[in-house]
Structure 1
């Protein structure tokens, strides 16, 4: 007879996500996962697989719960550039804010820590970045078609530049206590949209 789980796998996955996000993959031990999740090692393995599989599931969960405001801001009816500007400024503000600043972005953290040597993580990071780039490209294409963006501007290249800037702001914001650093960078990039 199969035993029923004595814990909530969804809550355990959220707890694992929190721990991996705060500490990274390499620095998080199985003992810390057992303690933080409040379940036994055997239960972790039986439910989620290896530590690596749990990390990938946490990264997937993070991607599933990404901020829905991104789609709303970039897909809102009417002029498109205000949404793009709002998104870039929000990323800058979040990167410079004390709350959550030290954790940064889980996708960006994963890219820096594991992306170069872990194909499964690299695929997930690339998918996340492709989604954001696609949303930015669509908004900038709408902006150019609507006359908000000069006709000689390349929406794809601008979307890529903004993606790189936004991810870079998250890295710099995590390590810097100077909010002007990311704020100034955001404003200089947005000036390219004029």
Structure 2
């Protein structure tokens, strides 16, 4: 007869995600996970595998949630430029509202583990590709709506905006990033609104 899990797998994964996001991969030990999650080491290994497997599971979970929200934001009806503006405003609000300055888990993973961890690199690249494609589609919509010049290149603009958005996430980890965030967002929007 199989044993029933004595913990909620989804809640435990979310709690591990928050711990990894706050402390990083290297600084989070298996003992930290056991203590923070209140789950025996053997149960964690049986359910999630190694610490690295658990980290990858948490990162996938975070990326899927974040990416689906961003795609929905950028692919909705209406102005493509307004959708991009809403995305930038949302990033700004999220960054400045994060009093712990944990930052974006995808960006944190990239900074800590790339290029030496191929599995994490694939997840990070997939997340960035998703954002870049969603931005490209919003900018193509903006061009077809006459918000961008006919000779503009939505794919190149999207790659630039992706870089700015990820840079905002990094800058947001500092104690007083408001003026830098505002200046970068203003310049990026000026580029697509002129």
Q: Please give the TM-score of this superposition, normalised by the length of structure 2.
A: 0.94
Contact 1:173 1:182 in 2 (8 A): yes
Give a deviation string over 1:4-47, Cα, whole Å, max 9, x none: 21111111111110100100000001111001111111111011
CA separation in 1, counterparts of 2:166 and 2:99?
A: 15
CA separation in 2, counterparts of 1:21 and 1:190?
A: 29
Q: Which residue of 1 aligns with 2:181?
A: 182
Higher deviation after alignment, 10-19 or 118-127:
10-19
CA separation in 2, counterparts of 1:118 and 1:124?
A: 10
Contact 1:84 1:139 in 2 (8 A): yes
| Correspondence 1:130-169 to 2 at 5 A | 130-169=129-168
Q: Which residue of 1 aligns with 2:171?
A: 172
Contact 1:92 1:182 in 2 (8 A): yes
Q: Which residue of 2 aligns with 1:5?
A: 5
Q: Which residue of 2 aligns with 1:36?
A: 36
Q: Which residue of 2 aligns with 1:94?
A: 94
Q: Please give the TM-score of this superposition, normalised by the length of structure 1.
A: 0.94
Compute the displacement of 1:145 (Å): 1.4
Q: Name the CA shift for 1:68/1:120 in 2 (closer, same or farther; >3 Å).
A: closer
Q: Which residue of 2 aligns with 1:74?
A: 74
SS of corresponding position for 1:175: coil
CA separation in 2, counterparts of 1:139 and 1:164?
A: 16
Contact 1:101 1:173 in 2 (8 A): no
CA separation in 1, counterparts of 2:125 and 2:89?
A: 23
Q: Which residue of 2 aligns with 1:46?
A: 46
Specify every segment of 5 or more residues in structure 1 that has no aligned partner in the other structure, as ranges. Answer: none
Give a deviation string over 1:49-82, Cα, whole Å, max 9, x none: 0000000000011122226542333122222111
Compute the displacement of 1:178 (Å): 3.1
CA separation in 2, counterparts of 1:125 and 1:11?
A: 23
CA separation in 1, counterparts of 2:131 and 2:18?
A: 23
CA separation in 2, counterparts of 1:168 and 1:176?
A: 15
Compute the displacement of 1:146 (Å): 1.5
- CA RMSD of superposed structures (Å): 1.4
